[in-house]
Amino acid sequence: MLSQSPPRSLLLSATALRKAYGPTPALDGADFAISAGEIVAVMGPSGSGKSTLLHCLAGIVQPDAGSVSYDGQDLAGMNDVGRSALRRTDFGFVFQFGQLVPELTCAENVALPLRLNGVRRQEAARRAAEWMERLEVADLGRKRPGEVSGGQGQRVAIARSLVTGPRVLFADEPTGALDSLSGELVMDLFTRAARSTDAAVVLVTHEARVAAYSDREVVVRDGRSRDRFAQYAA
């Protein structure tokens, strides 16, 4: 639940981010900061720029101006190979519709990031099974995504996002496609799992009930951000 505990040292931060798509500004001087172990909800109406902020923080989109720093590294100064490597190792992602590979079983989906990083098949399967157990979907290992419910699929996707031991998790409307009951279960399991690894979580949502699982809220409106508790000095 929401708290005002003192922050630890910054892990990921952004300053004065600007991003436009043609004549339309998506970000207009947005700031952001998060430390290890924190869950920060990024809130705002549709079109406010919150998803663009997440994409800039994750190095998926390059801002037109401003800076993004991860663990002392300037993301803008890294090449595409370096940013891609971070997204395979240090960053994890959970999207609204899970984006599981339909041809693979649920267990194979969870193990996929490990396999892409060169982990041997047996070890990848073992680690995938551990995370599926923690997300309460161990019995779905041999099923394909089309054979499970939306809530189950999203828990599989969360297990996949955590299996590499990322330091930062980016979740973009993770319960947006779920009913209220499934969404509550997913958020409870997700936040408990993330906290157990001390991962920082950037949680984009427009739902107050989802934001309630965070430690702090950052509100994005018209491309600008406002920290609800102003934990970090400007």
What torsion do the CA atoms of 42, 87, 95, 207 make, to the nearest 10 degrees? -10
Residue position matching structure tokens 């100064």: 77
Predicted local confidence at residue 3, as pLDDT: 45
Q: Give me the mean pLDDT over the 67-80 stretch.
A: 91
Domain hosting residue 75, numbered range: 7-90+167-175+198-234
Identify which of 36, 32, 40, 30 has the alpha carbon closest to the alpha carbon of residue 4.
Answer: 40
In a domain, residue 217? The reply is yes
What is the CB neighbour count within 10 angstroms for residue 189?
Answer: 19
CATH of the domain at 221: 3.40.50.300
Q: Considering the chain, what percentage of its residues have pLDDT values greater than 70?
A: 94
What is the CB neighbour count within 10 angstroms for residue 185?
Answer: 17
User: Helix 121-134 crosses helix 180-197 at what angle (to 10 degrees)?
Assistant: 120
Specify the amino acid at residue 182. S
In a domain, residue 13? The reply is yes
Band of pLDDT at residue 9, cut at 50, 70 and 90: confident
In a domain, residue 30? The reply is yes
Predicted local confidence at residue 228, as pLDDT: 61
In a domain, residue 29? The reply is yes
Band of pLDDT at residue 204, cut at 50, 70 and 90: very high
Give yes or no for a contact between 180 and 27, defined as CB atoms under 8 angstroms apart: no
Answer yes or no: is pLDDT of 208 > 80: yes
How many domains does one find in the chain?
A: 1
Band of pLDDT at residue 234, cut at 50, 70 and 90: very low
In a domain, residue 152? The reply is no
Q: Residue 32, CB half-sphere, CA atoms under 13 Å: how many?
A: 42
Q: What is the sign of the dihedral through the CA atoms of 40, 175, 17 and 61?
A: positive
In a domain, residue 143? The reply is no
Number of H helices, E strands in the chain: 7, 10
pTM: 0.89
Which residues face 217 on adjacent strands? Answer: 41
Q: Give me the mean pLDDT over the 208-215 stretch.
A: 94
Please tell me the distance from the alpha carbon of residue 203 to that of residue 43, in angstroms, as a whole number: 8
In a domain, residue 234? The reply is yes
For the chain, the residue count is 234
Predicted local confidence at residue 232, as pLDDT: 42
Q: What angle do CA 175, 178, 184 make, to 5 degrees?
A: 65
In a domain, residue 59? The reply is yes
Query: What are 135-164's pLDDT values in tens digits?
Result: 999 999 999 999 999 999 999 999 999 999
